Structure formats: C-alpha cells, structure tokens
Amino acid sequence: MKFNTKTIHGGQKHDPAYGAVMPPIYQTSTYAQTTPGGHKGFEYSRTHNPTRQALEHAFASIENGNYGLAFGSGLAAIDAVMKLLQPGDEVISTNDLYGGSYRLFTKIFEGFGIKFHFVGMENAANIEQYITKNTKLIWVETPTNPMMNIIDIKATAAIAKKHRVLLAVDNTFATPYLQQPLNLGADLVMHSATKYIGGHSDLVMGALIVKDKALADRLYFIQNASGAVCGPQDSFLALRGIKTLHVRMQRHCENGKAVAEYLADHPKIEKVYWPGFEDHPNHDIAKAQMSYFGGMISFVTKGNDYDEAIRIVEKLKIFTLAESLGGVESLSGHPASMTHASIPKEEREKTGVVDALIRLSVGIEDEEDLINDLEQAIG
C-alpha cells in the first residue's frame, strides 16, 4: 500500500459490531468479563482500548513500523522512551531540540542518574566521540526545533548500529509524509501527534512506533505500568487527522516554500532557516532523506533586533501568536520566551536561538493572504 492510501486505510478494519467505517469512540474505562479472565481481548482502558488500538495500528502503518503506541502527549511518549534506561546510562541528544524535551531530560531524568550529552549532529561524525560503554540511546530531532538543522539519519543509524546503541528520531516536524526514519535505520520514531498528525490544534498526544517486537513489548509494559495514555475521543480525532495528512502536508510544504522565499528576499530580514534553501548547510541531506522541506521556518530580523521581532509577532493577524505548530492554521512563535524558555539563555544562544528569532508554522491558508500578512507586519 502506498503512503496516500495508508493514511486512510493503514491498519484499519471496519467495526465488527455494525460495520461503521470510522472506528467508534469506545468511551469506556472497563469491559465485562464472563469469568475472571474471560473477555474479548480488552480488560481495562489504560491497558487497551479499541479506539486507541485502531490509532496505534494507523501509527505503525504510516511510519512503516510493526508496532505503534499512543500517549497522552509528546512528552509522555518521550518519558516512556527514557524509562527504558537505568541510572548510569548515557544519552546523546541533538543540541537543538524542543525546550520541553530538554527540560524533561535535564530536570527529571538527570536527577535519576542518566547523563545527557547535547551535541551538534549536523556532522554525524561528531557523535562518535561522545559514545562510551554506558551510551544506550541517541536522540535525534530532524529538522530540529527551532533552528531547522538537518541530521543525517542513515549515517547516525550506522554509528548507532556499530556501537549497539538505540537510535530514536523525533519525527514531529517532518511527519512520515516527508521522512520515514525506520526505513533509514532508526529503531524508534516519536511524534508529538499534537502537531501535524492531529493537524487541527484540537488535541494533545504522543506516539511511538517501532519495528522490533522485544522493544515494543518493553514500551507496552511501560505504557501500561506508567499509564500516560490518551483517551478514546482524542484517539478518534487523531485518526481523523491522519486521513488527510498527505493532502495537508503537501499544502504546508508549498506555502512554506513561498513564505521562506518571500522572507529571504526581504530587506528587513537577516537570516531565514529552512532546509529547502540550497545554501542550507545540510540541504543535500534534506533532499536525500526528505521528500520535501516542510512548513516550519525560523527567521531573524536585521541587526538581531529583539524589539522588532516582538513588534512583528504582535502585528501579524493571520499568523496567530501561539505555542505549538502543525495545525491547518498558521502560527507564529517567539522561541526564546515561549517554546524554548526552559533552556538557559547561554545554552540556547549557542545553537542560534537568539532573542530576535521568530518561528513560523505555515498553515494551509491561501498563500497570497499569508504573504500579505507578513508584508503588513514586517513593513
């Protein structure tokens, strides 16, 4: 089955009770048993729920995995991955990443004795020098949030395999429409399904997808034991979102290109970060591992002017100033004070997250309206 068919049918069966084409929302916490253990495969909704299971099958299908797991948020999904580790274990992570992931790693899991190395992975060879006998996991975001760095998944997977280390890829920005990390050698894919997967800014959810049964079993154990699952209503919404992922992503990419090119030509803009530009440092890798370049863009005003950046985000009308990304509507954000405020200033400035940086999640509205909105705000 090709991707555009998988988004609609992948892993889905018609409802066995009445043939409903969409999976019913099984809004139940528990299931009747005829005798202890005598049930139809469902005993308690933290463990299994038919609507969530339909979604988990869809996740596995679109990422070319064998097993999918749904969580109550992206961070809950990452939390489950980190619970594969033991005190003394080490993780090598991209140095540019979502501020909440950084906060989870440094403020929760470092306290449990796990050591994190935050490394610039734009050259995958940089990773190897941080590998020790205790390294258990490489954590990659690509494109990174918010600097749009591109990490070579295939090259990183080769390093991970050589040292018998797990490779996890946060595929939130690209989605499987643009990039399929399991096909490139990653062991695990993670999503903040809150974003493009859901696609309509109406739910908070996380996903993990793997190929290996032993790894899936460990993660299912953690999912049930820790219990950070999503409910059936949100599972239904995410399933509905997935059905249009391919058409939405195509428009996000087209609009993203138009906006990136407009900003790059603007005299009041210093620098635009978008992997589709030929002079992006890893444009060739982006071209090789992604089918297009996505709808996420960051930019800095001329002269690194913080006041000007704030003025622009306040003045934008169609681009709503808000946390999050990946919905049909365009959003703007100020990473230094919003999504990445939990990263100390000197750390975030090392990766380019300066106070004058603006991040755009380009939606699927009319391209001309989006450009006009930027024009009136930037001036």
Which residues sit at the interface with ligand P1T, rule CB under 6 A?
73-75, 98, 100-101, 141, 145, 170, 172, 192, 194, 204, 206, 323-325, 339
CA distance 274 to 253: 11
Q: What is the nearest approach in angstroms of ligand P1T to the Cβ of residue 326?
A: 8
Residue closer to ligand P1T, measured from CB, 50 or 176: 176
Q: Which is nearer to ligand P1T, 73 or 235 (CB)?
A: 73
**Least separation, in Å, of the C-beta of 141 and ligand P1T?**
5
Q: Give me the least distance between CB of 51 and ligand P1T, in Å please.
A: 19
Would you say 74 or 363 has its CB closer to ligand P1T? 74
> Nearest approach, Cβ of 142 to ligand P1T (angstroms)?
10
Q: How far is the CB of 98 from ligand P1T (least distance, A)?
A: 4
Provide the terminal-to-terminal Cα distance of the chain, rounded to the nearest Å.
48
How far is it, in rounded angstroms, from Cα 15 to Cα 324?
33
Contact (Cβ atoms closer than 8 angstroms) between residue 40 and residue 54: no
Nearer to ligand P1T by C-beta: 12 or 62?
62
Residue closer to ligand P1T (CB basis): 50 or 177: 177
Q: In this structure, are residues 150 and 104 in contact, taking their beta carbons and an 8 Å threshold? A: no
* Residue owning tokens 């429409």: 177
3-state helix, strand, coil in the chain (%, to 5): 40, 15, 45
Name the minimum Å distance from CB 265 to ligand P1T. Answer: 26
Find the residue with minimal CB distance to ligand P1T: 74
Closest distance of CB 170 from ligand P1T, Å? 5
Closest to 371 measured CA to CA, from 297, 295, 262: 262
- Please give the positions annotated as active site: 46, 98, 170, 195
Instruction: Give the residue with the Cβ less far from ligand P1T, 49 or 171.
Output: 171
Q: In what order do the strands lie in the sheet with 188-192?
A: 67-71, 206-210, 188-192, 166-170, 135-141, 90-94, 115-119
Cα-based distances in Å from 360 to 33, 146, 178: 51, 9, 18
Closest CA to 274 of 286, 289, 291: 286
Complex with ligand P1T: residue 77 or 159, whichever CB lies closer: 77
Q: At 327, is the secondary structure helix, strand, or coil?
A: coil
Query: For residue 226, how many other CB atoms are within 10 A of its CB?
Result: 14
Residue 207 Cβ vs ligand P1T, minimum distance, rounded to whole Å: 10
Token pair, residue 363, equals 């939606």
Using DSSP, how many helices (H) and how many strands (E) does the chain show? 14, 12
What's the distance, CA 38 to chain centroid? 39
The SS3 of residue 39 is coil
How many angstroms separate the CA atoms of 55 and 193, rounded? 11
- Cis before residue 143, ω within 30 degrees of 0? yes
- Cis amide leading into 146 (omega within 30): yes
Kindly tell me which of 23 and 327 has the beta carbon lying closer to ligand P1T: 327
